[in-house]
C-alpha cells in the first residue's frame, strides 16, 4: 500500500466519458494541483514544490500559438493545456522550470494527441527555452540556450506510428474521454523523453524505444481517506517512472516516483480562473495550495 502524506481537497467524482469532459472542463476554470517534490540534482536530493495547471483553450491550427484575436473556428484547435511547474533550490540558487503541453482534445491521431511541448528552465547561471512542434508525422524543434555548446539549435524528428511524448503522457493517462489503455495492457512505442529529462541529462533530442503499462488498481491513503488509484508505469530507454492517477473522474495525478529517487505527492487541488487572480488579496489561494 502507498501512503500519501498530504491533505487533499477532493473534487466530486463522476463516471469517465466524453460528456463528462466538456461538462467538467468547459466551465471557464483551471484545475490547479500542488505537489511536495523531491528532485535530484548535482548528486543530491532537493526539496521543492510543483504545481500542475490543467485548462482548456484554443490555439491557432497553423502557428500553434494561443488564439487571442478574432479567428474562424476552422483555424482553431481546442486543446487541453498542462503547465507543469517545478521549483527547487540548489544550495545558494534557485531553479524555476515550466513545461507546457498542448494536447488536442479531438481530431488528431488519437484523443489528446500532442500538438506542442515547450520547456523554459531558469537558474542563476542562465536560462534555456526548448520548443517541439508536432506537425503531421514530424517533430520540429528549436532550442535557445545560454550555454555555448547548445546556443541556438534546430532539430527534426520523424514520428513512428506507435508514439508518445512523455510530457503528454501526464494528460493521456488521465483518460478524460474514456480509456487510453485496458487495465493490465502494455504497449511498446517510440517515446520522446520529457524535455526536462533531456535538459538534466544533456542528451540529444531523439525518439527512444519505450513501454507504457496500465498496471493495476491499488488503494492509497490520502489525507486519512482511502482512494482507489490506477498505477501506471513507463520506461524510456533504461529510465523508469511510476505514476498513480485517481480512479474516479477527473483522474488527478496523485503521486509519481522515479528510479533516481525523485518523487511528487499531491497536496491540494482547487479549481479557479487563476489568470484573473492577480491582486495582493489573491495570495490566499497560494496559502490554500500550500505553496510559498
Backbone angles phi, psi at 178, to 5 degrees: 100, 175
Q: Is residue 253 part of a domain?
A: yes
- Averaged pLDDT score across all residues of the chain: 92
Q: Is residue 287 part of a domain?
A: no
Q: Is residue 215 part of a domain?
A: yes
Q: Is residue 291 part of a domain?
A: no
What is the value of pTM for the model shown? 0.92
Confidence band of 262 (pLDDT split at 50, 70, 90) = very high
With H, G, I as helix, E, B as strand and everything else as coil, classify residue 63.
Answer: coil
Are the CB atoms for 215 and 186 separated by under 8 Å?
no
Q: Is residue 279 part of a domain?
A: no
Burial category of 65 from C-beta neighbours within 10 Å (exposed 0-12, middle 13-18, buried 19 and up): exposed
**Alpha-carbon separation of residue 20 from 12, 13, 175, 250 (angstroms):** 12, 10, 11, 9
Residue 191: all three cell numbers together: 517515446
Total domains in the fold of the chain:
1
Q: Is residue 66 part of a domain?
A: yes
Q: Is residue 282 part of a domain?
A: no
**Alpha-carbon separation of residue 188 from 163, 164, 212, 235 (angstroms):** 9, 10, 7, 10
**Alpha-carbon separation of residue 225 from 8, 228, 230, 245, 250 (angstroms):** 9, 10, 16, 15, 17
In whole angstroms, give the CA distance from residue 115 to residue 51: 21
- Can you tell me the mean pLDDT for 88-106? 97
pLDDT value at position 150?
87
- Can you tell me the mean pLDDT for 257-269? 95
Q: Is residue 281 part of a domain?
A: no
Amino acid at each position: 500500500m502507498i501512503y500519501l502524506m498530504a491533505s487533499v481537497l477532493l473534487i466530486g467524482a463522476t463516471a469517465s466519458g466524453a460528456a463528462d469532459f466538456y461538462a467538467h472542463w468547459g466551465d471557464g476554470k483551471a484545475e490547479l494541483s500542488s505537489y511536495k517534490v523531491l528532485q535530484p540534482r548535482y548528486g543530491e536530493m532537493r526539496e521543492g514544490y510543483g504545481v500542475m495547471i490543467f485548462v482548456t483553450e484554443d490555439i491557432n491550427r497553423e502557428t500553434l500559438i494561443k488564439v487571442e484575436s478574432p479567428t474562424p473556428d476552422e483555424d482553431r484547435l481546442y486543446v487541453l493545456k498542462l503547465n507543469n511547474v517545478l521549483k527547487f533550490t540548489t544550495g545558494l540558487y534557485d531553479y524555476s522550470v515550466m513545461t507546457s503541453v498542448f494536447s488536442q482534445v479531438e481530431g488528431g491521431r488519437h484523443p489528446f494527441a500532442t500538438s506542442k511541448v515547450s520547456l523554459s528552465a531558469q537558474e542563476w547561471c542562465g536560462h534555456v527555452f526548448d520548443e517541439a512542434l508536432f506537425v503531421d508525422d514530424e517533430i520540429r524543434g528549436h532550442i535557445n540556450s545560454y550555454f555555448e555548446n547548445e546556443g541556438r539549435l534546430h532539430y527534426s524528428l520523424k514520428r513512428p506510428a506507435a508514439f508518445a511524448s512523455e510530457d503528454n503522457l501526464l494528460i493521456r493517462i488521465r483518460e478524460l474521454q474514456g480509456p487510453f489503455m485496458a487495465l493490465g495492457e502494455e504497449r511498446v512505442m517510440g517515446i520522446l523523453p520529457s524535455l526536462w529529462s533531456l535538459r538534466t541529462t544533456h542528451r540529444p533530442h531523439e525518439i527512444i524505444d519505450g513501454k507504457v503499462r496500465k498496471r493495476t488498481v491499488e488503494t492509497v491513503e490520502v489525507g486519512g481517506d482511502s482512494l482507489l488509484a490506477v498505477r501506471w508505469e513507463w520506461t524510456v530507454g533504461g529510465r523508469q517512472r511510476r505514476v498513480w492517477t485517481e480512479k474516479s473522474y477527473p483522474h488527478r495525478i496523485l503521486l509519481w516516483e522515479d528510479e533516481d529517487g525523485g518523487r511528487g505527492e499531491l497536496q491540494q487541488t482547487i479549481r479557479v480562473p487563476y489568470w484573473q487572480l492577480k491582486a495582493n488579496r489573491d495570495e490566499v489561494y497560494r496559502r490554500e495550495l500550500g505553496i510559498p
